[in-house]
Amino acid sequence: MSPSRHLVRALLLALVAGSASAAPPKRPRVDREAMREAMDAAATDEGRYSSSASYANYLQARLRHHAGDHRGAVDALRLALATDDGHPLLLTRLGEEYARLGNLDQAERELRRAVERSPAYYPAHVLLGRVLLEAGRFTRARLHLRRAVALKPREPEAYLVLAQLHLEAGAPDEAVKVVDALALALPGEASGYQRLGLALAERGDTARAERLLTEARRRDPGDVEVLATLAKLYEGTGRPVEAEEALASALRRDPDSTEVLLAAGRAALKAHSVVRARAYFDRLLSLSSEPEMAVRVAFSYLAAREPAAAAEVLDSARRAGEDEPRLAYYAGLVHERMRRFADAAAAFAGVPEGHDVFPDARLRRARCLSLSGEHPRALALLRAALQDAPEVGEVRTQYARALERSGQPVKAEAVLREGLAATPSAALYDALAATLHRQGRGAEALTLLREVVTRAPRDEELLYVLGAAHERQGDVDGALARMRAVLEVDPNHAAALNFQAYLLAQAGRELDGAERKVLRALELRPDTGAFLDTLGWVYFRRGEYLRAVEALEKASSLAPDEPVILEHLGDAYQRASRAEDAASAWRRALEVLTLDPESAEPPGQRAGLERKLKALPTRASGR
């Protein structure tokens, strides 16, 4: 009797038994997908069942499997096997349930029984190959997977698992051969190229991944995941136009994919098309009201050095009524980076007390108010912050700096000395030394720091602070000596290595040694804008202007609004015969200094930039 007839008989018996009651029982919910899967499987190559009880227990096992009850599925399959011992489907399903429970040894035993009883049963060989692969037994797994391929050469699953095995065994070329074999067996099949290509892309094997995914795209032009991954590969290899084209193809298939829209916007920005990027991002933001999405779009603009667009996105989200403190916080960060201090302060004010970012938002708001000249409001916020966290050095240093800006340097000094008496730290000593220096008392600052270092001669941070104080006083040799002392304590102190290199470059001394030092600093802290600025300045001082431009452009991309980096970049452009670019960089530095005079380095930087612009030809200077 066929399984379907067993099922009909069981249903009829249930109906007859139920007719004796007065009220018919409520019909239970039927998992139609599990039922169809079981019946389809039984109707093909999985044989017959010896009893209706066996089949009923099998169905119960599938229901429990889909409910996530794998222990219950094992029990039901055991009951099915009690009256149908050795059935390959039941043994294979049992092996699967044990594998899902993490019992690979028992899973292997049941699957071995299946292949011993039915050597030509394809699903058991595939699953046994998977289990052995999971256990790291590659050789035995390979045998069963190859057997499965031989049994059903036009079924993709065994090929795909075999390709995965070769990949995990460190043989990607063999994995590629497997998916090529699948493509020969099933012309037009894309799954092998797709899965292996995605796996190789995740592992960073860009060349192989691109070849495979390109072939997968040829076979299935509408696979969104393939197109999105290809776009990442194109982007990572400096081909933003190709990346955007791949993403546009993905959007034709799935125009509402938020991740693809986000990636397309980023690719357009890298291709220097803000207009196209805005179109993608506007569509994305119309589909999602989640504050997190506005933040991600804003950060994409920031990464592309489009802070105004980032601020617009965040401000629009806030105006739309999205009462999310993170939007206010990130909007504040963006405005602060743009030196729009009044706007930043207003945004930070939107972070409520009690939120996890409130302490930092309050501190940043106070600094922005102070830089905007709103001293009473700034000082009130800082006094409250200091009362809440008197032990936090950053709060105290910000309070002292705000006092100094408001014309109260004596009180600023007292606040710092009070903090040093309670909780001494290198950061507080540095703040006090800088305060004294701005008052024309640099020698006094040096005396203070020397006394502190005498008591702690191996404290690398105090030594660094003393070196910085020497540099502020114009004592390059003294600063270099202190940085050498730092490196004797910690040879991998990246900031000290960079400081030494920059001082040497400024003085035009030992430029090869300076290059080695800053390159070591970059090994320790890659992609640090200040370190790349030093490297570019070393090249500039050595007369290697093209290399200087390359390093300084990267430094400027990492720290786009730093006047020192912008001035150095302009200097390098000028020497590389790029006068218009030089003028643009210098003018941008002047714009930043207009908004934030404190960022000048040295204090007379603004006047120097104006002289450089006047010395340029009229067209380049924009005058």
Query: How many CA atoms are closer than 13 Å to the CA of 16, on its beta-carbon side?
Result: 6
Count structural domains, the chain: 1
C-alpha–C-alpha distance, residues 218 and 83, integer Å: 50
Cis peptide before 602 (omega within 30 of 0): yes
For residue 46, what pLDDT band results from cuts at 50, 70 and 90? very low
Residue 92 in any domain: the answer is yes
Residues 6+ apart with CB under 8 A from 318: 327, 328, 331, 347, 350
Residue 338 in any domain: the answer is no
Residue 190 in any domain: the answer is no
Average pLDDT, the chain: 88
Question: Is residue 3 predicted with pLDDT exceeding 60?
Answer: no
The whole-number pLDDT of residue 25 equals 41
In degrees rounded to 5, what are phi and psi of residue 586? -65, -40
Residue 129 in any domain: the answer is yes
The whole-number pLDDT of residue 1 equals 42
Find out whether 257 and 267 touch, Cβ atoms under 8 Å: no
The whole-number pLDDT of residue 6 equals 39
C-alpha–C-alpha distance, residues 316 and 322, integer Å: 9
The whole-number pLDDT of residue 215 equals 87
Lowest mean pLDDT among 32-36, 53-57, 283-287, 515-519: 32-36
Tens digit of each residue's pLDDT (9 = 90 or more) over 276-299: 999 999 999 999 878 888 888 988
Question: Is residue 145 predicted with pLDDT exceeding 60?
Answer: yes
The whole-number pLDDT of residue 64 equals 94
Q: Which two tokens stand for residue 136?
A: 């790291």
| For range 353-381, the mean pLDDT | 96
| For range 380-393, the mean pLDDT | 94
C-alpha–C-alpha distance, residues 514 and 476, integer Å: 14
Residue 607 in any domain: the answer is no
| For range 135-150, the mean pLDDT | 93
Give the structural domain span for 102. 1-12+35-152
Question: Is residue 8 predicted with pLDDT exceeding 80?
Answer: no
From 331, 270, 342, select the one nearest 596 (Cα to Cα).
Answer: 342
The whole-number pLDDT of residue 560 equals 84
Find out whether 538 and 505 touch, Cβ atoms under 8 Å: yes
First to last CA, the chain: 97
For residue 620, what pLDDT band results from cuts at 50, 70 and 90? low
Q: Which helix (H) or strand (E) holds 51?
A: none
The whole-number pLDDT of residue 228 equals 85
Residues 6+ apart with CB under 8 A from 568: 533, 536, 537, 540, 548, 552, 555
User: When comparing pLDDT for 39 and 223, which is higher?
Assistant: 223
C-alpha–C-alpha distance, residues 72 and 62, integer Å: 10
Q: What sign does the dihedral 273-274-275-279 (CA atoms) show?
A: positive
Tens digit of each residue's pLDDT (9 = 90 or more) over 312-356: 998 888 888 767 888 899 999 989 988 999 999 999 999 999 999
Angle between helices 529-541 and 563-575 (to 10 degrees): 30
User: When comparing pLDDT for 12 and 389, which is higher?
Assistant: 389
Question: Is residue 10 predicted with pLDDT exceeding 80?
Answer: no
From 108, 172, 181, select the one nearest 150 (Cα to Cα).
Answer: 181
The whole-number pLDDT of residue 45 equals 41
The whole-number pLDDT of residue 197 equals 86
Tens digit of each residue's pLDDT (9 = 90 or more) over 221-259: 888 888 888 888 888 888 888 888 888 888 888 899 888
The whole-number pLDDT of residue 231 equals 86
Find out whether 388 and 356 touch, Cβ atoms under 8 Å: no
The whole-number pLDDT of residue 621 equals 56
For residue 5, what pLDDT band results from cuts at 50, 70 and 90? very low
Question: Is residue 466 predicted with pLDDT exceeding 60?
Answer: yes
Residue 333 in any domain: the answer is no
Question: Is residue 169 predicted with pLDDT exceeding 60?
Answer: yes
Where b means 16+ CB within 10 Å and e means fewer, 551-562 reads: bbbebbeeebbb
Q: Which two tokens stand for residue 148?
A: 């499965």
The whole-number pLDDT of residue 198 equals 86
The whole-number pLDDT of residue 194 equals 84
Tens digit of each residue's pLDDT (9 = 90 or more) over 188-226: 888 888 888 888 888 888 898 889 989 888 888 888 888
Report percent pLDDT > 90 for the chain: 63
From 132, 126, 88, 125, select the one nearest 108 (Cα to Cα).
Answer: 132
Where b means 16+ CB within 10 Å and e means fewer, 515-545 reads: bebbebbbeeeeebbbbbbbbbbbbbbbebb
Q: How far is CA 260 from the centre of its chain?
A: 16
From 422, 428, 367, select the one nearest 399 (Cα to Cα).
Answer: 367
Q: Residue 111: which CATH number?
A: 1.25.40.10
Tens digit of each residue's pLDDT (9 = 90 or more) over 80-108: 999 888 899 999 999 999 999 999 999 99
Q: Which two tokens stand for residue 533?
A: 């600025």
Residue 313 in any domain: the answer is no
Residue 589 in any domain: the answer is no
Report percent pLDDT > 70 for the chain: 91
| For range 596-618, the mean pLDDT | 89
